[in-house]
Every structure is written in C-alpha cells, then in structure tokens.
Amino acid sequence: MTSALGTVASLAARAGGSVVRQVLSVLEHGSGAGAVSAPASGWLVVSINREPTEIDATSLPAPLAAYGDRIQTRIRPAADGKGTELAVRLTQRSGNASGPARLLGSDPQGDLRSALRKAKQLIEVGEVLAVDPAPHGRRSATPAGAALEAVAKRAPKGGVL
Amino acid sequence: MKAVTWRGVNEIGVEDVPEPKILNDHDIILEVGLSVTCGSDLHLLGGYIPAMRAGDVLGHEFMGTVAEVGKGVTKHRVGDRVVVVSFIGCGQCWYCENELWSLCDNGNPNPGITEALWGQSIGGCFGYSHAMGGWAGSHARYIRVPYADQGAFPIPDGVSDERALFASDAAPTGWTGAHQAEVKAGDVVAVWGAGGVGQMAARKAMLMGAERVVVIDRFDNRLEQVRTHIGAETLDYEQVDVPAELREMSGGRGPDVCIEAVGMEAHSPGPQYLYDQVKQQLRLQSDRPTALREAIYACRKGGTVFALGVFGGLVDKFPMGAVMNKALTLRGAQQHGHRYVPEILDLMSRDEVKTEHLATHVMPLDQGPRGYEMFKNKEDGCVRAVFRPGG
C-alpha cells in the first residue's frame, strides 16, 4: 500500500464505525438483506440435529419451558435427514418491537429467538455456550466502541432466525 | 497475564488482562506454547473488519499444553500437548456432523451480527472480532478453548511445536481449499498468494495428484519458499502476464482449479488496484477482489474457482458474466479444520508436510507490536511472526 493510500485507508478504517452502525441499524430496524424479521405467521424455526422422537414437546429445555402456555410449538421431521424442525411462536403477538423498545430491553420476539437458540444448544450439545467474561485489555470509551457493545449485547437476540 | 491486544486501527498493544476461566463443561484452559500472526489478522488491524473493540486479544492460530480441563472433557488431560483449530465447532449440529465445521450452528454466541451481514451465522473463531463470537485470542499466556474434545488435537511425538503450530489454521485452511475445490489427478491448479495458506493449498493439491501446481505472488522470498519447501512452480505477477502464462502452462485451457488465497486486501500492479483502493476507502465496496477477478478470468471453462482468502462484505466489478457463461463452479469457505487436522498431523509426522519455514520470526509476546509491524510490511522477509508467550 502506498503511503498516500495508507493515509486514506486509515481515515476510512476509522470510519469503520459506520459499518458497525449499519449492522446496528439492521439489528434494530429490520432493514437490509439480513434484517431482523419474522414471517407473518410469527413462527421462529430451527433445525435440530436429532430425531423427532428425541424431542418431546411436553418437556422442552428450560429456556422454552419457561414460556409455558405463552408460546405454541411445532415439531416435525426435517427434510433429507437434516434432523428435526422445532418451531415456536408467541401465543399473543404484537408485531416486532420498535428500535427504541428493543434498546430499552423490551423485545418479546428477540427474547424468544434467544430462547430457541439456547434450547437448540441444550438439545444438541447439552450446554449453552458462554463467552463472557472473556479476557480483554483496557476498553476505550469511543462512539464506535459503544455502538459495537450495543450490537454485541443485542446479537444473541437479533438476526434472521 | 500479558496479551497482545487490538487497540484501534493500526494500533497493537501489550497489556495485562485477566486469565481465562472454565465457563462450560467442555472447556479446557490451554497454556499457549506458540501463537502466530495470520494474514487475516491484518484485516482486523486495518479496520476492514470493524467488529473489534479496543482491548480485544488477538490471535487464532496456536498450540500449547493443557493446563486445566472441564468436567465434560473426555479426550484431554492436563499436560497434553495439543494444537487447536482456529474455528470453534460443537461437533453435534448438522454442519459439524457433515464435516462442514466452520459452519457450526452453535460456536458463535453472537449470531445476530453475522446473520445481519450474511443472512446466516457461521461458527466462532478465536480472536477474530465480536462478529465471530467475541472469543479472546491466543496471543496470551493462557486461552480458554470451548468444545475442546472437538477442536484440540494431540500432537504426535516427533512433530515439533514449530511444525504443529500451522496445523491450527494455515494447513487446514489450505486443505479446505484444495479438497473442497475437488482437485483431481492430472489437474492444473493455480493458487493466488504464496503466504502460509496459499503454500498449504498448493501442497494439498499436489498430494491430491494435481499434475501442475502454480503459485502466484510478488515477493521473491515467498516464491522461493514455494519452490524449495512445497515443490510447486511460481509466477511473479509483477514480472509476467499471469493469465497468459497460465494459459500456456495449461495447453491454452486455463487452470482446472483456481484457488484465491489472498482475500479482501489484494494488491495488483495494474490500474484496477488504484480503482479498488479508492472504492474500498470510500466504503463503496468493503473488499478488494483483484486476485479473485483474475482467478475467474484465468480459470478454464467449466473449472472451479475457490475463494479461500478472507472476504467480509461486498465487492465491486465482480465478473458474473464470466462465472455464468464459462459455467464455472464458484465456492468458498473458512476452514473445516477438524476434518483435516488428523491427516495433517499424520503427514507432518512423516515429513510429508513441513511448515517450519513459515515461522521466519519467533519472538516473545511483549514484542507483539513489532511482530505485527514486520509481518504487515513484510520486513526482513517476514512470512509469519510467531509469539512465544512463555518467553
């Protein structure tokens, strides 16, 4: 890289926060190719690498069991030996939470998405993978860092599942 | 403990960080013996993969000694010498069971980020941003390894630390490229990039019976390594017209398999390099696909192009017409290392795969910033800077 281009590169790279903000925007507002979204039916679905006989709708892992009758569940074989499809949806649905509501922690659909992911891990692996506390050095208080922290905090609930 | 950390764009630090703890039953804590810089780290350093926070511990290619085991670990004991795959796979989901380990459903605790970027989440990776899980990296005295029964492999007696180290990432990534591109006996294979991954892709292609393997780069010392240690042919893209040379070397057809082992910061001597730089810096594209474009143009009709270098987002001027009209197979992957490491370690034990030459500069951890500077600028013929956390 030439020095002039390197300078430009550094400037632009510092603008990398814009990409973080873009991801945050996608996570929060549901725009873009990988937007936070759900089908009109409200079902969230994962395929679990287990036979249908190994998944008991009356004895789901704790993260889903805690919902009780607040969710509906649907279990059926996945095509082509890809395991079992486990689908859940809120019994009372009020649409996707707004961006500000999500930032304030009120996101029923996101909470259910996270619970479904945990249930899949518990069935397949027997544990929910924890990453924190991960060793790290001094965190700088920057806007880009704050934005990324918000993205990471939201990430277990976000996505297109 | 000391650790090499990302402090910001083009800023590397050495800091005191807390030691890791076992958090899941299938974890081990590894005392890191050797941990090496990787070309893909430079994308983090340059800010091209922006999901890094100041203080994040870098490093994803490493080996060491088991220091502590979780109660669910069955294959490892304290004191075992192991090499660890850089990608984190659970071994239980459909993707892991089908040997597509880097696509693990469960190895990334932050799936929302990559689902937003790519439509699906893939597995996690040590020291490779919060998009890939936020896992602490290996440039430290200790590292926590989740799913250790799946991702850690005992190193055979007689295989040195310096050789086994590259069974963590460079070799299995190269193996992934050649194997997933389905190199066949008699094929002509071209590999863009003579770094560790490119060299290993070339070696695997040769082991798979390729008749002719050609590696393309511009650095004399790396091309010399290819000729001396891998046994493949080389082309210097600053000296020759690469597609023309490849046509001649393949009877006018073009290579059967083209493996791009360069990634999002590709360089070229032509005007398209300036074009791609400007577009990338203006954020009109996130990645520079210069080598990938050339691979697509050079590939024979009906051949396979494999994107093995790391790309993060969007590219411009992608020759889709060539892909479609030449009936190319276009594939890509991060490494499915769990599938290949046993074979690689076996070959290493029989001297059929050698990697020590990649470790051109070995230094203590506190020289991390200098190591990355040398590695980035290719100073003193640096191919890989290797850190020894034990001093």
Question: What is the full DSSP assignment across A109-157?
Answer: HHHHHHHHHHHHHHHHTSS-----SPPB-PPP--HHHHHHHHHHHHTTT
Residue A34 has pLDDT above 60, yes or no: no
Comparison of pLDDT for A34 and B124, the residue scoring more: B124
> Are B343 and B302 in the same domain?
no
> Are B325 and B341 in the same domain?
no
**How far apart, in whole angstroms, are the C-alpha atoms of residue B306 and residue B128?**
22
Do residues A70 and A91 touch, judged by C-beta distance below 8 A? yes
**How far apart, in whole angstroms, are the C-alpha atoms of residue B208 and residue B203?**
9
Quick one: tokens of B163?
């050789």
Which among B311, B260, B307, B266 has a CA at the least distance from the CA of B286? Answer: B311
Domain boundary among the residues B332, B354, B378 is at B332
How confident is the model at residue A93, as a pLDDT? 77
Quick one: tokens of B164?
């086994």
User: B295 CA to chain A: closest CA distance, Å?
Assistant: 21
Q: Estimate the share of chain A in helix, then strand, then coil, as percent rounded to the nearest 5.
A: 45, 10, 45
**Smallest CA–CA distance from A16 into chain B, residue:** B50
**How far apart, in whole angstroms, are the C-alpha atoms of residue B289 and residue B213?**
22
> Are B183 and B240 in the same domain?
yes
Q: Give A17's pLDDT tier (boundaries 50, 70, 90).
A: very low
> Are B145 and B236 in the same domain?
no
Q: Which residues of chain B have pLDDT under 50?
A: none
**How far apart, in whole angstroms, are the C-alpha atoms of residue B161 and residue B155?**
8
> Are B314 and B359 in the same domain?
no
Q: What is the CATH number of the domain that holds B371?
A: 3.90.180.10
Cβ–Cβ gap B146/A26 under 8 Å: no
Quick one: tokens of B158?
């007689």
Tens digits of residue pLDDT in A104-121: 567 899 999 999 999 999
How confident is the model at residue B287, as a pLDDT? 78
Residue A155 has pLDDT above 90, yes or no: no
Q: What is the CATH number of the domain that holds B208?
A: 3.40.50.720
How confident is the model at residue B288, as a pLDDT? 82
pTM metric for this prediction? 0.92
Which of A11, A127, A154 is best to mutate for the B interface (most B CBs within 10 A)?
Answer: A127
> Are B58 and B179 in the same domain?
no
Beta bridge partners of B288: B265
**Smallest CA–CA distance from A32 into chain B, residue:** B116
CB pairs < 8 Å spanning A and B: 198
Quick one: tokens of B76?
């490892």
Cβ–Cβ gap A130/B24 under 8 Å: yes
Tens digits of residue pLDDT in A86-145: 999 999 877 665 555 655 567 899 999 999 999 999 999 999 999 999 999 999 888 888
Q: Read off φ and ψ for residue B164, nearest 5 degrees.
A: -65, -30
Q: Give A12's pLDDT tier (boundaries 50, 70, 90).
A: very low
> Are B78 and B211 in the same domain?
no
Tens digits of residue pLDDT in B182-221: 999 999 999 999 999 999 999 999 999 999 999 999 999 9
**How far apart, in whole angstroms, are the C-alpha atoms of residue B265 and residue B42?**
9
Cβ–Cβ gap B281/A132 under 8 Å: no
Structural domain count of chain B: 2
Domain boundary among the residues B332, B351, B379 is at B332
Which among B165, B174, B228 has a CA at the least distance from the CA of B362? Answer: B165
Chain B environment of A149 (Cβ under 8 Å):
53
How confident is the model at residue A11, as a pLDDT? 38
How confident is the model at residue A134, as a pLDDT? 96
ipTM of predicted assembly, 2 dp: 0.91
**How far apart, in whole angstroms, are the C-alpha atoms of residue A27 and residue A11?**
26
Domain range for residue B312? 174-332
